[in-house]
Amino acid sequence: MTLVAVVPDPHDAVRVLRIPSFPLFGNGQECLTHGAREENREPIRWFVAVRRIYRYVGTLDGIVFTGGGLLDDFWGGAWRVPFFVLIWTLSARLRGKKVLFQAVGFDRLASPLSRTMAIASLNLADSLSFRDADSRRFLVAMGLRREGRVVPDLAFGLESTAGLALRQQRIEQASYVVVMPVSEQMWSNERHPAYELYIESFVSLCKWLLEIGVRVELLSTQPSMERETLGRVAAELGAANDGRCAVHHVESLEDFLDHAGGARLVVASRLHGLILSMVVGTPIVSVAPMRKMNRVMQDSGFGEFNLDIANINPGALIQMVSTAIEQEERLRVRVREMADAFRMQVEKEFDVVLDVLRRSDPVDEC
């Protein structure tokens, strides 16, 4: 079975995932290999994009929608992600292809039109699962006719103990904490009153860590969006930064796992930053500007190390990080046990999805 990623940026997906990719919005060209010439990805007429998607779906065996952002109209409103997810779903149904939504989560559907499109797509699916019970409950309240399964985020399917001995050696040799603040535009379309306090809290945390002899790695996985944010935090450290605070913009999964896996602790405001850190057995502290981060911390059993953006202040963040460092070894054991249990659940979910894709008869196992 050949996997093809359907994503907004096919070239980036090939670089990171190393599999062929096709543009989610129908603009640009299919990208088969890393290093291929960049194609024009400017918006095209919607009916041209829809026709391209419909034709491309005919070459597939099925579509599996996974992860975050699919039930979200934050980026571009109803006529962006909600509309095109519906187009892919309708195209698949019209062409007799299976459609599955696997471990998806509800993020933000601000308009009635966005909700209508999202619910229509989900109701047309052959198989449906959610990454948390709240997502399922919210969507049922909006009109979803099916409940679906609840499973952990699919990233927990990565092997959690890979390289464990090497990472433990790195932790013993070099004491550092990974800190991942995010830009304001990641979670707000307008100026947010809490953002300045958010940045102040991260600056204060970094200063405190340096004062107690712990190196800081300011890390981003979205350089284009967060380069300025990390630069601002590093600059505001001033004299406190005597070369023990480094800035890294990672561009691959392996690079992130290497940094997170060797850290004593990861303090993050991105969902994948939290999940992938837990996958490699590193304790985490969440500074959550969005519901999905609150939810994953509760579901994984680490709610006491989740600081909602509404409650952010320097003292609260430093206290939470201090407690996590004091309990580091106990938390490391808890994280590994939780990640292993979640991985087993995800592996069972993969078996369900493969079974649905292989069956020729109509499916409604929800």
| Predicted pLDDT of residue 20 | 82
pLDDT tens, the chain, 366 aa long: 667 888 877 777 676 667 788 888 888 666 665 444 444 455 567 888 999 999 999 999 899 999 777 888 888 899 999 999 999 999 999 999 999 999 999 888 999 999 999 999 999 999 999 999 999 999 999 999 987 999 999 999 987 544 554 555 555 556 899 999 999 888 776 777 889 999 999 999 999 999 999 999 999 988 888 999 999 999 999 877 788 899 999 988 888 999 999 999 999 999 999 999 999 999 999 999 988 999 999 999 999 999 999 899 999 999 999 999 999 999 999 999 999 999 999 999 999 999 998 886 544 444
- Same domain as 279, residue 206: yes
Q: Which of 71, 98, 75 is nearest to 85 (CA)?
A: 71
Residues 86 and 24 placed together within one structural domain of the fold:
yes
Same domain, 149 and 35: yes
Distance CA(353)–CA(294), nearest Å, equals 27
Same domain, 143 and 200: no
Tokens 């096919």 locate to 10
Q: Could you tell me if 242 and 264 lie in one domain?
A: yes
Domain of 192, in residue numbers: 160-341
**Do residues 144 and 213 both lie within one domain?**
no
Residues 14 and 148 in one domain: yes
Return the structure tokens found at 360: 């020729």
**Contact yes or no for 199/233 (Cβ under 8 A):** yes
DSSP-derived letter for residue 32 is -
DSSP 5: E
Residue 214 located in a structural domain: yes
Q: Is residue 365 part of a domain?
A: no
366 in a domain, yes or no?
A: no
8 A C-beta contact, residue 256 and residue 217: no
Angle (nearest 5°) at CA 270 between 339 and 264: 55
pTM of structure: 0.85
Asked whether residue 212 is domain-assigned, the answer is yes
Query: pLDDT at position 263, please?
Result: 95
CATH of the domain at 216: 3.40.50.2000
The CATH number covering residue 149 comes to 3.40.50
> What pLDDT score does 186 carry?
80
Q: 307 in a domain, yes or no? A: yes
Q: What pLDDT, on a 0 to 100 scale, did the predictor assign at position 168?
A: 56
Question: Do 208 and 258 belong to one domain?
Answer: yes
Q: What angle do CA 176, 182, 187 make, to 5 degrees?
A: 150
Domains in the chain, number: 2
Same domain, 173 and 134: no
- Give the per-residue pLDDT at 36: 45
364, part of any domain: no
Contact 198, 287 (CB under 8 A): yes
- Asked whether residue 363 is assigned to any structural domain, the reply reads no
Question: Would you call 240 exposed, middle or buried from its count of C-beta atoms within 10 A (0-12, 13-18, 19+)?
Answer: middle
Shared domain check, 240 and 333: yes
Same domain, 103 and 198: no
For residues 141 and 239, state if they share a domain.
no
3-state secondary structure of 346: helix
Q: Please, are residues 169 and 149 in contact by the beta-carbon 8 Å criterion?
A: no
* 3-class SS of residue 334: helix
